[in-house]
Amino acid sequence: MTGLVGRGVERVDGRAKVTGAARYAADNAVNGVLHGALVMSTVARGEITELDTSAALASPGVVAVYTHENMLPLTVPPDFPYPKRFIPLQDTRIHHNGQPVAYVVAETLEQAQEAATLVRVRYRVAPPTALLADALDEAFLPRDFRGRPNETVRGDAAAALERAEVRVEQEYTSPMQHHNPIEPHTTTAVWDGDSLTLYESAQGVVLTRMVVAQAFAKYVLEQDIRVVSPYLGGGFGAKGPTWSHTLLTAAAARLARGPVKLVLTRAQMYTMNGHRAEYRRGLRLGATRQGRLTAIVDTSTAQLTRTEESIYNTSNSTLHLYACPNVHVRQLGVRLDLPTSSYMRSPETTAHFGLETALDELSYEVGLDPVELRVRNHLPAGPPASKYLLECYRMGAKAFGWARRDPRPGVTRVGDEYVGWGMATETHTYNAIPSFAELTIDEAGRATLRVASQEIGTGTYTVLTQVVADGLGMPLDHVTTLLGDTAFPAAAISAGSSTMPSVVGPVSTAARNARDAVVAIAVADPRSPLHGVPAADVVAEHGQLFVRGDRRRRDSYRDVVRRHGQAVVVNGSGPNTPGHSFGAVFVEVRVRPRLGAVRVSRVVAAYDPGRVLNHRTAHGQVIGGVTWGIGFALMEHTVVDRNTARVVNPTLSTYLVPVCADTPSVESYFVDRPDPASKPALGARGFGETPGTGVPAAISNAIFHATGRRLRDVPFTQDKLL
């Protein structure tokens, strides 16, 4: 260990990213590649009765047009990570607006796009149900999803609520939202006989390969599929599951007997790759007059589809964050004629927004400071896990100056703006998925790590390079990390904050194994200056191997491996367990009463992510997550037309996301103590999705503090404050 882990080193892939050299999925030059374009349904529910491709086929450059009449028959993969229960272009049924009904293949992109406009489709149409509000009386308890029940009971919440000295009972709602990574989803499919290579925008290459193998079970073996995704232009959950465009592109390339590249249009990304579902949440809190929670009843209703019934935005924080003996969570859903929802960055935010806003309401009911209320309900972690949330409250409050807050709403004005301070706890679950790594030390004394993990912007290349360099005792620039290729050892999908907790263990084990292997070779080699030294007495630093206490007696990785005559290749594994990360966020808002406009002017946040592996990339996750929280609270909102069930704002000028001028600079602090429960990952927990989970509530709470108006329906657009 050389102290590299934890240091905020610059990103090792920085040069590639700032020079345009980093090769994203759509950047691969494939000889003779054909271009795909999708034709989308313009109705939400019904059946195709007539489909005329003659004009499209006659259009210059068109190679083929695939429809349900001539598409390759595929097998619907059995379950998540293929979230849909159907594959388009396999039959005439229409399940939602913006469902592919034809796939055009042409020599150039422009030819494919033009021909796609020439396909004529007639439908038999049934009236769709588009809005949650229109179907609430049809709410039902969906079946378990991924082994998790949608109803959880602890104690007797109804009775405790009845007896409670203080109650808060409110409804909290949030709309449909879309991930909108800057890089559109893209697939380039290249068949070579019966083997298939996919250049894919994927958060999980291994799972993508599995899904494709399931869909193409009749045509190709899983081992003959290679999925390549060394860089990803943002995913945020949208590229976690595998979606139908990937399957259709692979099928089109097989039928067309040539490589095919498809890039979804921005508008298609509003119906093709999931979204955060619309939610209504009834929350009922019971408490003592001292502010101790005695009951939580959390009943949510989510938008589902007629073909899928998966709940993605779970009420985990209601169940796990605070000490409350009586909890009843029910996650209901209603079936609508919409595309399926899916995971979107920090999915637990939806539920957590309601809980943390309700707690603020409770703090006013019992006359307690919102921080103190949370401290009184703190739930320590069960051993061996650590939970330094109380430290987060203290650090964040101190840095923010929370002690100076006058709790009375609507009393602070600066110029023509009301000023409000609000806070919330931040927390999210992280996953841990079995992963493996391979490390090679070559005759130049350089290390190459291979692992089928992904770089989605969180800093995987950088942190894993640090872990390897640290474990080997080698300079950072002697280590190369290769990711995003199913040719490498299998590793976790980069979703659910799972990359670091899943992959750091195998990588650090591989580094230790490689170091031990090289030391063993050295001490057994009569030509080595280290010959005969007990292996335990050898230390590694800067690529050199020394005898402890006698630094003149030395060898090096390069010389040992060179004399050995062949590269040293080792593997590593290191299973870990899931858990939670924690934090506290404090925000200041400015509200202009005549315009109803809210501006977030200051954010301070303190976190307990276990051990911080790289302070620079950890801070990056904070500023990203907090900004997502601002977008969630103030602007993001997908609008669906009631009559057509069509998304009416599928563009970045109508679906607003935060821009540079919308965001304040965020101050972040870290407790930075290793969690014994995440020992394989060197004490680091999964963290990426924790920042931002509390921000919508903190903003709501700050708006209440500024104005005395309590907003429970995101986004908090200007009309709601006039």
Smallest distance, other proteins to C-beta of residue 109, A? 6
Q: Which of 64, 596, 664, 629 is nearest to 344 (CA)?
A: 629
Smallest distance, other proteins to C-beta of residue 272, A? 15
Q: Which of 666, 660, 653 is nearest to 692 (CA)?
A: 666
Residues annotated as part of the active site: 689
**Binding string, 314-353, against other proteins, x = CB under 8 A?**
----------------------------------------
Work out whether 7 is an interface residue with other proteins (CB under 8 A): no
Q: Whole-angstrom Cα distance, residue 722 to residue 703?
A: 13
Smallest distance, other proteins to C-beta of residue 240, A? 14
Q: By the 8 A CB rule, do 412 and 422 touch?
A: no
Using CB under 8 A, which residues numbered 250 to 279 contact other proteins?
A: 263, 265-266
Identify which range of 19-27, 188-196, 632-640, 703-711 contacts other proteins by CB under 8 A.
19-27
Nearer to other proteins, 568 or 606 (CB): 606
Work out whether 58 is an interface residue with other proteins (CB under 8 A): no
Q: Which of 146, 341, 344 is nearest to 238 (CA)?
A: 344
Work out whether 11 is an interface residue with other proteins (CB under 8 A): yes
Nearer to other proteins, 556 or 668 (CB): 668
Residue 320: Cβ within 10 Å count:
15
Using CB under 8 A, which residues numbered 525 to 544 contact other proteins?
A: none
CA 147 centroid distance within chain: 20
The correct pick among 59, 80, 118, 183 for binding other proteins (CB under 8 A) is 183
Task: Supply the DSSP symbol for 134.
Answer: G
Identify which range of 325-333, 349-357, 396-404, 659-667 contacts other proteins by CB under 8 A.
659-667
**Binding string, 109-148, against other proteins, x = CB under 8 A?**
xx--------------------------------------
Q: Which of 579, 580, 583 is nearest to 669 (CA)?
A: 583
The correct pick among 77, 396, 583, 624 for binding other proteins (CB under 8 A) is 624
Nearer to other proteins, 274 or 658 (CB): 658
Q: Whole-angstrom Cα distance, residue 504 to residue 690?
A: 19
Work out whether 627 is an interface residue with other proteins (CB under 8 A): yes
The correct pick among 32, 182, 406, 643 for binding other proteins (CB under 8 A) is 182
Smallest distance, other proteins to C-beta of residue 422, A? 20
The correct pick among 4, 5, 26, 89 for binding other proteins (CB under 8 A) is 26
Consecutive H or E run containing 650: none
Peptide linkage before 81 cis (omega within 30 of 0)? yes
The correct pick among 78, 403, 661, 719 for binding other proteins (CB under 8 A) is 661
Q: Whole-angstrom Cα distance, residue 425 to residue 389?
A: 8
The CA R_g of the chain, rounded to the nearest whole Å, is 27
Smallest distance, other proteins to C-beta of residue 459, A? 8
- The token pair that represents 472 in the structure block: 């080997």
Work out whether 22 is an interface residue with other proteins (CB under 8 A): yes
Q: By the 8 A CB rule, do 378 and 322 touch?
A: yes
Smallest distance, other proteins to C-beta of residue 218, A? 33
Nearer to other proteins, 81 or 457 (CB): 457
The correct pick among 66, 82, 343, 628 for binding other proteins (CB under 8 A) is 628
Q: Is 49 buried (19+), middle (13-18) or exposed (0-12) by CB count in 10 A? A: exposed
Smallest distance, other proteins to C-beta of residue 188, A? 12
Using CB under 8 A, which residues numbered 497 to 526 contact other proteins?
A: none
- The token pair that represents 524 in the structure block: 């057994």
Residue 325: Cβ within 10 Å count:
14
Work out whether 620 is an interface residue with other proteins (CB under 8 A): yes
Q: By the 8 A CB rule, do 567 and 442 touch?
A: yes
The correct pick among 666, 699, 711, 721 for binding other proteins (CB under 8 A) is 666
Q: By the 8 A CB rule, do 651 and 660 touch?
A: no
Task: Supply the DSSP symbol for 168.
Answer: E
The correct pick among 181, 230, 347, 420 for binding other proteins (CB under 8 A) is 181
Supply the DSSP string of 256-301, one letter for each residue. HTS-EEEE--TGGGGTSS--BPPEEEEEEEEE-TT--EEEEEEEEE
Task: Supply the DSSP symbol for 680.
Answer: G
The correct pick among 286, 420, 658, 694 for binding other proteins (CB under 8 A) is 658
Phi, psi of 198 (to 5 degrees): -120, 120
Work out whether 566 is an interface residue with other proteins (CB under 8 A): no
- The token pair that represents 344 in the structure block: 């979107």
Work out whether 31 is an interface residue with other proteins (CB under 8 A): no
Q: Whole-angstrom Cα distance, residue 559 to residue 536?
A: 19
Identify which range of 332-340, 463-471, 620-628, 670-678 contacts other proteins by CB under 8 A.
620-628
Work out whether 659 is an interface residue with other proteins (CB under 8 A): yes
**Binding string, 37-56, against other proteins, x = CB under 8 A?**
--------------------
Using CB under 8 A, which residues numbered 212 to 251 contact other proteins?
A: 231-236
Work out whether 453 is an interface residue with other proteins (CB under 8 A): no
Work out whether 458 is an interface residue with other proteins (CB under 8 A): yes
Q: Whole-angstrom Cα distance, residue 619 to residue 697?
A: 21
Nearer to other proteins, 82 or 628 (CB): 628
Residue 152: Cβ within 10 Å count:
17
Smallest distance, other proteins to C-beta of residue 336, A? 26
Work out whether 294 is an interface residue with other proteins (CB under 8 A): no
Work out whether 24 is an interface residue with other proteins (CB under 8 A): yes
Work out whether 394 is an interface residue with other proteins (CB under 8 A): no
Work out whether 414 is an interface residue with other proteins (CB under 8 A): no
Q: Whole-angstrom Cα distance, residue 160 to residue 167?
A: 11
Work out whether 105 is an interface residue with other proteins (CB under 8 A): no
Task: Supply the DSSP symbol for 404.
Answer: G
Smallest distance, other proteins to C-beta of residue 429, A? 21
Smallest distance, other proteins to C-beta of residue 416, A? 18
Q: Which of 1, 8, 2 is nearest to 462 (CA)?
A: 8
640: left (phi over 0), alpha (psi -120 to 50) or beta: beta
Work out whether 17 is an interface residue with other proteins (CB under 8 A): yes
Q: Whole-angstrom Cα distance, residue 373 to residue 364?
A: 10
Smallest distance, other proteins to C-beta of residue 711, A? 23
Q: Whole-angstrom Cα distance, residue 72 to residue 90?
A: 8
568-573 and 436-441 beta bridge pairing: antiparallel
| Count of residues near other proteins by CB under 8 A | 62
Q: Is 161 helix (H, G, I), strand (E, B) or coil?
A: helix
Q: Whole-angstrom Cα distance, residue 623 to residue 619?
A: 6
Binding site for other proteins (CB under 8 A): 10-11, 13-24, 26-27, 29, 108-110, 179-184, 231-236, 263, 265-266, 455-459, 616-617, 619-620, 623-624, 626-628, 651-653, 657-666
